[in-house]
Structure 1
Amino acid sequence: MRHFIGIIKDNLTLSKLTLFSNPTTSYLHIAVLRTTSHSPSTPPNDHHLATILSLGDSSRATASTIIHSLITRLHRTSNSLVALKCLLTIHHIIKRGPFILKDHLRTIRSTNGRNNLKLSSFRDGSSPATWALSAWVWWYACYIETILYTTKNMDFDIYSSLIEKEKRRDLILSCMNSDLIRDVGLLVGVIEEICKVPDNLLVEKDRLVRGVMELLGNDYLSMVNEILVRLSEFKERVGLLSFDDSVELASVLDRLTGCKEKLLRLFSVKKISVENLWEMIEELDRKIGVGGVSQLGLVTGL
């Protein structure tokens, strides 16, 4: 019955948009509605997502309307499925959307430097299943806020193409130690947020949640690759690190190591890059142990 009512709501909204909305923008609102429908618990249709991304590349006015429509729908809905689809759509825009669409997404009002999707009070108590999905909505909004914050503060797109990443490798060589440590810390922050994902039992039962986890798995590997590049540079500089740099780097590596157990449970597929990351962390720990971790313990009395 709830699913049936949701379909009726979508059809009524489509009718209103067709009859009463500004014809120059109604098709954009319709595209958002179709992508984030009340239909069963499945990820947004690939065709509808492609339409959103394509339309968002046409002009700044169009991109602004799409983002405004998407955020408005996210804030007005009390349906956990619609909310998750809105967040999934935003995630896809961040990962593979055109620049102007991403740029308008960054204009969401921020609090304390972080984009604020304002979903901490979201509740869908219509059933035990939707109540459980509400926890995913809260967490997913926080995760997307973290991604937006990280991208903004690293001054580059963490989802950039392989060619762009290769060009960036040369820039990393000229970065100061403090900048590299800051970047690794921000990337580790994304991984820490991944590890806060709600109870994984829903993953096997809910296709929408599985869609979220698939994007998370890809994000995790992207973070691993970005961290590896920077740790490889630290491997070359380890003998030149100051005491303060050693302490900060050791602290960041410790945060990442603290995520290892949860990450192994979340993502069971073995990747060479992941194995290389844990090996490099152990190697760096050994190399900076005397100058970094051990001295940190002496200073703090640990």
Structure 2
Amino acid sequence: MPSRKKLRALAGILKDRASLTKASVSARRPVSTVNVAVLRATTHKSTSAPPEYRVAAVLLLNEDFPLICVDSLVARLHKTTNAFVALKCLFSLHNIILQDWSLPREDGEGSAVGGHNELNVRTFDDRFDAESAEYSSWVRWYAEVLEENVAASRNLGCRLFYRRASKEDELRVRGSFDEDLIRELGALASLLERLASAPGSLHLQRNELVYEIVASVCQDYRVIRRETTLRVEELSRRAEGMKPRELSCFMAELERVGGCEERLVAIFANKANNDGLWEEIARTTRRVSTLIQERSRASWVPRLTLLD
């Protein structure tokens, strides 16, 4: 008798065939063309990452029909109850963002990520078996990382997805006010905390799809670390001239970032943790702590006791 997993895989293949047939005969072009490409990139058939040529086909269509591609992927994501299909949808969306994604407008219009139409899979739960439930936690984490990244990118006014460093990054930081840099550091701390909240089932990275997802997120993580380092170094140079409240806020954000170190090292190993950020955080935290203590002692005034 076929196992439950084989029966589920067969049912998934049949669903995909039916969906492909429906999309192929639709007269709504280019929607049907996009839907077919999306279905082929997010099939039930395999638990592996979608073939590069399938993702490339979606990316090619995205150049001409970006909103249609994103809407199709999000619709597929919301409809499925299969963790692997959901992960493939998110992986394809991530690739679209990496390809060409201008920051969403403040009102979120036209954005499926970070606006009013969020990915909205916080309650996603594939209950087929215990393993599917574990993979579901990766679906929720991956979606939240993408959402948090877009929100932080909007906050900082620059993309925190994979890209090369530029001189403009340094100039933008040097020209910012202290309070703005501290606020931006807070947004980066929130994003690092989200990354650090990855599921405890790190052994699932042996699955090709999860491995590819973590590798892709790791590329973004390098950019996030670089932007964090720029702000920490710049604020450290200004620390002595900061107001007491600003110094305390700076200290709080340093502690938040530093608190992510152990977990992020476990998730990304040595792939992106050797750029000196953690050493800079520890060094700056000690320095700022000393400044706060010195100012506290300087502002202390002994109480005079009146003698009879």
**TM-score normalised by structure 1 residue count:** 0.86
Which residue matches 1:268? 269
Deviation per CA, 1:194-213: give whole Å up to 9, x if none. 11111234424422111221
Q: 1:20 matched to which residue of 2? A: 26
- 1:47-103 Cα distance to aligned partner (Å, 9 max, x none): 222222222122xxx211111111111111111111111111122222x22246978
Aligned to 1:278: 278
Identity rate of aligned residues, in percent?
Answer: 27
For residue 168 of structure 1, report the CA deviation from its aligned partner.
2.3
Alignment of 1:195-214 (within 5 A): 195-214=196-215
Q: Matches of 2:200 and 2:46 in 1, distance apart?
A: 21
Larger radius of gyration: 2
- CA shift, 1:224, in A, is 1.0
Gap change, CA 1:201 and 1:173, over 3 Å in 2: closer
CA distance in 2, matches of 1:201, 1:270: 15
Residues 95-244 of structure 1 aligned to structure 2 (within 5 Å) = 96-99=98-101, 107-108=111-112, 116-159=118-161, 161-162=163-164, 165-244=166-245
Tell me how far apart the structure 1 counterparts of residues 240 and 285 of structure 2 sit (CA, whole Å): 13
* Aligned partners of 2:162 and 2:220 also within 8 Å: no
Instruction: State the shift of 1:115 in Å.
Output: 5.9
* CA 270–122 in structure 1, closer or farther in 2 if over 3 Å, else same: closer
Q: Distance in 1 between matches of 2:84 and 2:41?
A: 12
Q: TM-score, normalising length from structure 2?
A: 0.85
Q: CA 1:11 to 1:252, structure 2 compared with 1: closer, same or farther past 3 Å? A: same
Assess if the C-alpha contact under 8 Å between 2:104 and 2:111 holds in 1: no
Alignment partner of 1:36 is 2:9: no
Q: CA deviation at 1:222?
A: 1.6
Query: Residue type matched to 2:76 in 1?
Result: R
Which contiguous aligned blocks of 4+ residues in structure 1 show a shift greater than 6 angstroms? 100-105, 293-296
Opposite residue 143 of structure 2, the aligned amino acid is: A
Partner of 1:92: 95
Long gaps (5+) in structure 2: 1-6, 300-308
Larger helix fraction of residues: 1
Contiguous gaps of at least 5 residues in structure 1: none
> 2:3 matched to which residue of 1?
none
**Distance change in 2, residues 1:293/1:125 (3 Å):** farther
Residue 255 of structure 1: aligned partner: 256
Change (3 A) 1:290 1:108: same
Separation (CA, whole Å) in 2 of partners of 1:154 and 1:133: 31
Measured at CA, do residues 280 and 201 of structure 1 come closer, stay the same or move farther in structure 2, by a change above 3 Å?
Answer: closer
Per the alignment, residue 305 of structure 2 pairs with none
Closer/same/farther in 2, CA of residues 99 and 173 from structure 1, 3 Å limit: same
Q: Report the CA distance shift for 1:295/1:260 in structure 2 as closer, same or farther (over 3 A).
A: farther
